[in-house]
């Protein structure tokens, strides 16, 4: 698995349990408060396994959906373009067609505790007998569920015992440091430079403020009026990074975006920090890294710089990036060495020759990086 899926023993245990359920042909249900990163983790696991995700949100379905509620298909499922002649299928037929196209599909049943009881009942045969629309599911096809607790879910209700007893229940508690490692890499998804810059800035902030007003755990306000507005959560911070990448440096608009996404207390803390972080561009770093006074940079700023370099490295500049890591190591050895492992993982994208060039450059500076890289290389292979 990639590093962004978690390096801690707690993270690995949860991931390995989910995969163990898949291997056993059982259905796990992953539960946590809203915005904790369940969906991001499930999609990341599917990507690592080479699976396509089919999302089915039961809370949006009527009971007839499990019995053949017809829906009109107006866009081509392959191209997304409007069809000249729309056609009608039902919810399960559409799911069956997806599985027929690609048996290596992970069927993701989301918002389960917000799902009508009659729809939940329709899940029973689907899960126990592994039948879909009257036909057996291929052995390769996997099923997973996700839900919020009854207290914090929309229209939350307890699962009926016949369904609950068929599931493997996993209380999702992904460590914050592993989640931040995923956030800074956009959970393995390629993005644009502006987005990577914002992810690096935000991850640096959250890394040093996990216990303050910049909390990344969801704390739903007890006051219903406040719960109706913006409050911080992992999902909220993820959304904010994407939004800020579109807004750019327009301060007034940035401030409004921060306030409207994570709420007043978290916004005030992050806004103050955000204004103080004057990051050089990647181009400035790569061309002038030997002259930059790295010793004057805060740890947060160094973290953001190293994260940017990792995410925006290419086959043409990754050797220079490794040299920057080594230079920064003169004053921030522990951080540069640790994050050097992420750069090595990134270098694998550009082939074995490039990987070993980066490993050699870093190991010449940091004695322990090569051993760490070997562990990651073995795990990700």
Taking the C-alpha atoms of residue 107 and residue 110, their distance in angstroms, rounded to an integer, is 10
170 CB-side CA count, 13 A: 25
**Alpha helices by DSSP H, 55-116:** 91-101
Collapse the DSSP code of 341 into the 3-class scheme (helix H, G, I; strand E, B; otherwise coil) and give the result: helix
77 CB-side CA count, 13 A: 11
Taking the C-alpha atoms of residue 30 and residue 164, their distance in angstroms, rounded to an integer, is 12
pTM given for the model = 0.74
Tens digit of each residue's pLDDT, the chain (381 residues): 454 566 677 888 888 999 999 999 999 999 988 778 888 889 889 988 999 999 888 665 555 555 544 556 667 767 778 777 665 555 677 788 888 899 999 999 888 887 777 677 777 777 888 877 677 889 999 999 998 887 665 566 788 888 889 899 998 888 888 888 888 888 878 889 899 999 999 999 988 876 555 566 666 677 777 777 888 888 899 999 999 999 988 889 999 999 999 988 888 888 888 888 888 889 999 999 999 999 999 998 999 999 999 999 999 999 999 999 999 999 998 899 888 988 998 898 898 899 999 998 888 888 765 554 444 443 333
Q: Cβ neighbours of residue 122 under 8 Å, at least 6 residues apart? A: 63, 65, 66, 67
At 185 the pLDDT is 86
Task: List, for residues 228-287, the tens digit of each pLDDT value.
Answer: 788 888 889 999 999 999 998 888 999 999 999 998 888 888 888 888 888 888 999 999
């Amino acid at each position: 698995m990639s590093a962004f899926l978690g390096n801690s023993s707690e993270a690995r245990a949860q991931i390995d349990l989910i995969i163990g359920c898949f291997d056993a042909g059982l259905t796990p249900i992953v539960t946590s408060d809203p915005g904790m990163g369940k969906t991001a983790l499930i999609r990341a696991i599917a990507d690592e396994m080479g699976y396509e995700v089919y999302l089915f949100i039961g809370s949006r379905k009527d009971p007839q959906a499990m019995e053949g509620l017809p829906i009109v298909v107006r866009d081509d499922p392959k191209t997304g373009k409007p069809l000249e002649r729309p056609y009608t299928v039902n919810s399960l037929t559409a799911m069956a067609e997806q599985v027929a196209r690609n048996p290596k599909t992970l069927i993701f049943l989301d918002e389960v505790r917000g799902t009508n009881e009659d729809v939940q009942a329709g899940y029973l045969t689907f899960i126990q007998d592994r039948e879909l629309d009257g036909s057996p599911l291929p052995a390769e096809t996997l099923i997973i569920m996700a839900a919020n607790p009854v207290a914090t879910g929309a229209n939350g209700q307890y699962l009926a015992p016949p369904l609950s007893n068929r599931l493997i229940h996993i209380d999702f508690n992904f460590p914050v440091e592993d989640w931040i490692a995923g956030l800074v890499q956009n959970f393995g998804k390629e993005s644009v430079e502006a987005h990577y810059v914002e992810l690096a800035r935000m991850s640096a902030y959250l890394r040093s403020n996990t216990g303050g007003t910049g909390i990344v755990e969801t704390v739903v306000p007890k006051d219903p009026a406040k719960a109706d507005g913006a409050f911080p959560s992992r999902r909220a911070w993820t959304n904010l990074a994407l939004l800020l990448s579109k807004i750019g440096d327009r301060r007034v608009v940035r401030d409004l975006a921060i306030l409207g996404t994570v709420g007043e207390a978290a916004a005030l803390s992050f806004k103050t920090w955000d204004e103080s972080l004057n990051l050089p561009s990647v181009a400035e770093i790569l061309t002038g890294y030997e002259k930059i006074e790295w010793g004057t940079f805060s740890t947060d700023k160094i973290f953001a710089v190293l994260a940017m370099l990792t995410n925006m490295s290419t086959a043409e500049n990754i050797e220079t990036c490794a040299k920057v890591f080594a230079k920064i190591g003169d004053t921030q050895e522990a951080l540069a060495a640790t994050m050097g492992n992420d750069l090595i993982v990134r270098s694998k994208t550009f082939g074995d020759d490039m990987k070993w060039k980066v490993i050699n450059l870093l190991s010449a500076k940091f004695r322990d990086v090569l051993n760490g890289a070997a562990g990651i290389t073995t795990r990700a292979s």
